[in-house]
C-alpha cells in the first residue's frame, strides 16, 4: 500500500451523507470512531484528533467553538488552498460533525489574508449548504444547530500557531499564549475550542461513511490514512499529491519526476532537510514528520543560500514576544551570513548550535522551537560544502573571522 497514490480527499463524495450518519449517532460514538481511526492532525504537530475532540466534549463551558485553521503559511505549502478551492463542502461537513460531537454550535474558518480571493467561493458554499439544511438551524430535523463564518487574517505567519490564531480571532495581536491552559480548555473567548487543520477536517466525512477500520488500515501503525503533499522546487511535475502515510522520499521523488536531487526539505521552513543518504526514509510521524510541504533541490543549488532564505523568513515572522526566538533567529541568520563570506570558524559554529538548542527548549511557541530545524539539518548535511567556501573578503581587514 505504502507509496501508492490513493484518493480519499480527492474522490468525489456527496455532501450530507456523512453528516446524516453522524447525527444519527451519539456524540461519544463519533468520538470513539475518530479515535479508532487513529487520525492525527495534519497541521504539523500530529496530535490525535479524536482525543482533542474528547477533551473539548468533556470540558465545561457554556459555549464551545470549532475553529478551522486555514492560515497555511508554511513555505512550500499549498495543499489547503486546493481543498479550500475544490472541496469546501468536505471541510464544512467535517466541522459540523465535529460541532455535533463536541457540543459546539459555532464554527470559524480562519482564512489567511493572502487567500482572500477564495473567500467568495467559501461563502457561497456555506450558503448552499444552508439551503440544503446541512448547516444552520435544526440540521436535517435533528435539533442540532451549527453555523460557520469566515474570518480573514491580516498577514502574519505566526497566526497559524493555534493560540496566536485565537488571539487574532479575538481582534488582538497574534502573539502565542502561554500553555497550559490549552485551547481545548480555554480557547476562543475563554471557551473550550477545537482547532484543527483544513485537511484534518476533510478526512472526517470519509471516516464516517467508510469506517474507522478502513482508514486505519491505510498508512503505517502510528500514522494512519493518507496525506496531502505540496511538492515544489526542482521537479518536473510540481503539485499536490495524495499519498499513503509512510511513503519514502525516494518514491515521492520518482513520482514527481525529480532528477539530480541533492536535498529535500520535508515540512517547510520549520521542517528538516534530508540529504541523499536518507532518501529511503518514510515520511510519517514515526520518522520524517510530514508537514504539508516538500521542497526539492537539485545538485546545482547552494544549500547555504536556501538556509539563509529560511532564516530570513523566521526573523521576519517571529512575533518578537520572547527573547530566545526574537534574538535567536536573528543570530542564526547572522551566522549564516558569516558562513556565506567564509568568516565563521568551527568554534563559532558550535556556539550557534548551542544557541539553536537553547531556542528549541526555551521558546514560547512552535515558531521559535522549530526555527533551528533547517539550521541544524542543513549544516549537518552539508558541513563540508559550507566550511570549504571561498573567503569572499579575503583581503579586507575589516572582516575578521568570528570566533
Partner 1 sequence: MKLESRNNQIAQEVIEIVEKYNFQREKLLQILEELNDSYGYLSEFVMKEVAKNLQLTTTEVYSVATFYSFLNTRPKGKYIIRLCKTISCVLAGKNAVANALRNELGIDFGETTSDGKFSLEFTNCIGMCNQGPAMLINNDVYYHLDPEKAVEIVEKYQ
Ligand X SMILES: Cc1cc2nc3c(=O)[nH]c(=O)nc-3n(C[C@H](O)[C@H](O)[C@H](O)COP(=O)(O)O)c2cc1C
CA distance 222 to 219: 8
Q: Does 318 bind ligand SF4 (CB under 6 A)?
A: yes
Partner residues linked to 69 by β-bridges? 110, 197
Q: Does 157 bind partner 1 (CB under 8 A)?
A: yes
Cell of 236: 518536473
| Nearest CA among 87, 37, 97, 35 for reference residue 66 | 97
| Count of residues interacting with ligand SF4 (CB under 6 A) | 14
Smaller CB separation from ligand X, 332 or 365: 365
- Please state the length of the chain: 403
- Residue 226-265 contact track with ligand X, rule CB under 6 A, x = bound: ----------------------------------------
| Nearest CA among 241, 209, 239, 243 for reference residue 225 | 243
Q: Does 170 bind partner 1 (CB under 8 A)?
A: yes
Residue 364's binding partner among ligand X, ligand SF4, partner 1, none (Cβ under 5 to 8 angstroms by kind) is: ligand SF4
Q: Which stretch binds ligand SF4 (CB under 6 A): 26-34, 42-50, 316-324, 377-385?
A: 316-324
Partner residues linked to 282 by β-bridges? 248
Q: Does 356 bind ligand SF4 (CB under 6 A)?
A: no
Residue 319 Cβ vs ligand SF4, minimum distance, rounded to whole Å: 3
| Nearest CA among 144, 62, 77, 63 for reference residue 112 | 77
CA 125 to chain centre: 24
Residue 164 Cβ vs ligand SF4, minimum distance, rounded to whole Å: 7
Question: DSSP per residue over 12-32, as a string?
Answer: ---TTHHHHHHHTS-HHHHHH
Give yes or no for a contact between 134 and 150, defined as CB atoms under 8 angstroms apart: no
Residue 376 Cβ vs partner 1, minimum distance, rounded to whole Å: 17
Q: Which stretch binds ligand X (CB under 6 A): 28-36, 121-129, 194-202, 327-335?
A: 194-202
CA distance 396 to 36: 65
Q: Give the one residue of 22, 102, 158, 322 binding ligand X; rule: CB under 6 A.
A: 158
Restricted to residues 150-189, the positions that interact with ligand SF4 (CB under 6 A) are 158, 176
Q: Does 326 bind ligand SF4 (CB under 6 A)?
A: yes
CA distance 124 to 129: 9
Looking from the CA of 397 toward its CB, the CA atoms found within 13 Å total: 0
- Residue 319-338 contact track with partner 1, rule CB under 8 A, x = bound: x-------------------
Provide the 3-class DSSP secondary structure of residue 157: helix
Judging by beta carbons within 10 Å of its beta carbon (0-12, 13-18, 19+), is residue 171 exposed, middle or buried? Answer: exposed
Smaller CB separation from partner 1, 170 or 217: 170
Residue numbers at the binding site for partner 1 (CB under 8 A): 72-78, 80-81, 112-117, 151-157, 168-174, 189, 230-234, 238-240, 265, 269, 293, 295, 297, 301, 306, 309-310, 313, 316-317, 319
Residue numbers at the binding site for ligand SF4 (CB under 6 A): 158, 176, 318-322, 325-326, 363-365, 367-368
Amino acid at each position: 500500500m505504502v507509496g501508492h497514490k490513493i484518493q480519499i480527499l480527492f474522490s468525489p463524495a456527496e455532501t450530507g451523507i456523512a453528516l446524516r450518519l453522524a447525527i444519527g449517532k451519539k456524540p461519544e460514538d463519533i468520538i470513539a470512531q475518530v479515535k479508532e481511526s487513529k487520525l492525527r492532525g495534519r497541521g504539523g504537530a500530529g496530535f490525535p484528533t479524536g482525543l482533542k475532540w474528547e477533551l473539548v466534549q468533556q470540558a465545561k463551558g457554556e459555549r464551545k467553538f470549532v475553529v478551522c485553521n486555514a492560515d497555511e503559511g508554511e513555505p512550500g505549502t499549498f495543499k489547503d488552498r486546493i481543498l479550500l478551492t475544490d472541496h469546501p463542502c468536505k471541510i464544512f461537513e467535517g466541522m459540523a460533525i465535529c460541532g455535533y460531537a463536541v457540543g459546539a454550535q459555532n464554527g470559524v474558518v480562519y482564512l489567511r489574508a493572502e487567500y482572500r480571493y477564495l473567500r467568495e467561493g467559501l461563502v457561497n458554499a456555506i450558503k448552499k449548504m444552508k439551503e440544503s439544511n446541512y448547516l444552520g438551524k435544526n440540521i436535517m430535523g435533528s435539533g442540532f444547530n451549527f453555523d460557520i463564518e469566515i474570518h480573514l487574517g491580516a498577514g502574519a505567519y505566526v497566526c497559524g500557531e493555534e493560540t496566536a490564531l485565537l488571539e487574532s480571532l479575538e481582534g488582538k495581536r497574534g502573539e502565542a499564549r502561554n500553555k497550559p491552559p490549552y485551547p481545548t480548555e480555554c480557547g476562543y473567548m475563554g471557551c473550550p475550542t477545537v482547532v484543527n487543520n483544513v485537511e484534518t477536517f476533510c478526512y472526517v466525512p470519509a471516516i464516517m461513511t467508510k469506517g474507522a477500520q478502513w482508514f486505519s488500515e491505510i498508512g503505517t501503525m502510528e500514522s494512519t490514512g493518507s496525506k496531502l503533499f505540496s511538492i515544489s522546487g526542482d521537479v518536473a511535475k510540481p503539485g499536490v499529491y495524495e499519498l499513503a502515510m509512510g511513503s519514502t522520499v525516494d518514491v515521492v521523488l520518482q513520482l514527481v519526476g525529480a532528477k539530480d536531487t541533492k536535498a529535500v526539505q520535508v515540512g517547510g521552513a520549520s521542517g528538516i532537510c534530508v540529504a541523499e543518504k536518507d532518501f529511503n526514509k518514510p515520511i510519517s510521524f514515526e520518522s520524517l514528520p510530514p508537514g504539508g510541504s516538500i521542497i526539492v533541490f537539485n545538485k546545482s543549488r547552494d544549500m547555504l543560500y536556501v538556509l539563509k532564505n529560511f532564516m530570513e523568513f523566521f526573523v521576519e515572522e517571529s512575533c518578537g514576544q520572547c527573547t530566545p526566538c526574537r534574538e535567536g533567529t536573528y543570530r542564526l541568520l547572522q551566522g549564516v551570513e558569516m558562513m556565506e563570506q567564509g568568516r565563521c570558524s568551527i568554534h563559532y559554529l558550535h556556539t550557534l548550535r548551542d544557541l539553536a538548542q537553547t531556542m528549541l527548549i526555551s521558546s514560547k511557541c512552535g515558531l521559535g522551537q522549530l526555527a533551528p530545524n533547517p539550521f541544524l539539518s542543513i549544516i549537518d548535511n552539508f558541513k563540508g560544502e559550507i566550511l570549504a567556501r571561498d573567503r569572499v573578503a579575503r583581503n579586507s581587514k575589516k572582516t575578521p573571522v568570528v570566533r
